[in-house]
Structures are given as C-alpha cells and as structure tokens.
Structure 1
Amino acid sequence: MSSKVFLQLQGKATQASRVVAEYGSSYYKQVLEKNRHYVQEPPTAEKCSLLSKHLFYTRIASIPGRYETLQKELDSVKQIWKNRQALRVEDAGIAALFGLECFAWFCAGEMIGRGFTFTGYRV
C-alpha cells in the first residue's frame, strides 16, 4: 500500500474517531434511554446469564413446533411432486428462480468468506 493511500486512510480513521469521541457518549445515552423498557433490573452479569438460559431453553422448547411446521412443508412439497403433471409453467418458473436465488446467495457467501475474491487468492 502506498504511503499516500495510507495517509488518507489514517486521516479518515482520525476523523471518524473524533466524531465517535464527540457524539458517541450522547448517542449511547439516547439509545439506552429510548430502549429503557428492554433493560432488565438489576443490569448485572447474573441477570444476563439468567436471560441467556431463558433464551436457550425457550428455543429448545420451540423445536417440536418447528419440526411440525417442517413436516407440513415437506408434505406439501411431496403433494406437489405427486401432481407434477398438473404443474403450471409459472409455478415451475418461480421454483427455478427461487433455486437460482439460493445458489446466488451461496456463491456470494463463498466469495465473502474468501475475502471478496473469485479464486481465493489475494493479490
């Protein structure tokens, strides 16, 4: 990286840190006050641990309902597959576009994971 680019980057970082130092505290207080009703009292590490356990076990308790929903979705896909002769071109096109979109998001995620490169090698 050239020194000119480095100096520009350093200047931008310095400017950003000044803005954060000047407005960060007031923004933090404003957001906290606006969302005060979400804060559990007393705001301690023990309370955070308790809430974390609540979230974990609540999610575990929701698994049977999610599984039932998944089974219903799979049954509807099986039913569509059985009646595929009656499938309209529009429905097939929508399914193909959905599959293409999923593949595109997968590819984008792979590129992001490799550091925004196509081959995996950085120059």
Structure 2
Amino acid sequence: MASKLQQLQSKACQASQFVAKHGTTYYKQLLEQNKQYIQEPPTIEKCNLLAKQLLYTRLASIPGRYESFWKEVDFVKQLWRNRQDLKVEDVGIGALFGLECFAWFCAGEIVGRGFTFTGYYV
C-alpha cells in the first residue's frame, strides 16, 4: 500500500512539473487562438454585462423554441394519423430513439444514485 502511495505521489509530482513547465505556453497559445472571443477590457463589469446578455438572449429565444416544439408535436400527430402509411424503417427509427431515451434515463438514474444499481450503499 505504501509503495502505491509513493507511486501516486511521484506521478502527481511529475504532472505538476509538466504543468509548471508547459502551462504558460499552453495558456498563451489558447488565448491567441481564441482572441476573437475575448472582450476588451476584461473587467468584472464586462463579465456581468455578458452574463446578463446571455440570460436575456436565452429568455428571448423561448418563444421560437416553443413554436418549434409545437411544430414537432404536430408532425408526430400527423404521422400517427397516417400510421398505416409508415414504413418499417420509420417505425424502427422511432423505436430506437425511444430505446435510446430510456437508456439515457436509466444511466442518469444510476449516476444520480452514486453508480449503484440497487440504490443502496454497500
């Protein structure tokens, strides 16, 4: 156990030395590549302004999303009315989509329970 702890400390030391040596270069390169996204001057007031712009822009997009949602619902209703005209491929795609949604739901439940399958901590 002590040898594994010593190995872990050694790896952590190597990683911190690598970051100390190459971190600033990576940081400068990253900023240079993405300078078109940087707002000048970089102040707290500018950050607060951008946060408010993002919030209210998202709020302003709700009506458009609402309309798109109901268009999708109407499309599904139309498909259901004409279900005798559906092809097997379309039904298969819909079934796979439903199965995928269920799988993501199950995975989220497992993650939410702390990666336990029964819900109890052992």
Tell me if TM exceeds 0.5. yes
Gap change, CA 1:121 and 1:102, over 3 Å in 2? same
Structure 1 stretches of 4+ with a deviation exceeding 6 A read: none
Equivalent runs, 1:44-59 vs 2, <5 Å: 44-59=43-58
Q: Which TM-score applies when normalising by structure 2?
A: 0.88
Corresponding residue number in structure 2 for 1:98 = 97
What is the deviation of 1:9? Answer: 2.4
Give the aligned CA root-mean-square deviation in angstroms: 1.7
Equivalent runs, 1:75-86 vs 2, <5 Å: 75-86=74-85
Residues 1-38 of structure 1 deviation map (CA, whole Å, 9 limit, x = unaligned): x3333333222222211111111111101111121121
- Segments of structure 1 that go 5 or more residues without pairing to the other structure are none
Equivalent runs, 1:1-123 vs 2, <5 Å: 2-121=1-120
Gap change, CA 1:23 and 1:121, over 3 Å in 2? farther
SS of the residue 2:114 aligns to: coil
Q: Which TM-score applies when normalising by structure 1?
A: 0.87
Residues 59-82 of structure 1 deviation map (CA, whole Å, 9 limit, x = unaligned): 111111111111100000111111
Q: What number of residue pairs does the alignment pair up?
A: 122
Q: Given residue 92 of structure 1, which amino acid in structure 2 is its aligned partner?
A: V
The CA distance in 2 between the partners of 1:82 and 1:6, in whole Å, is 65
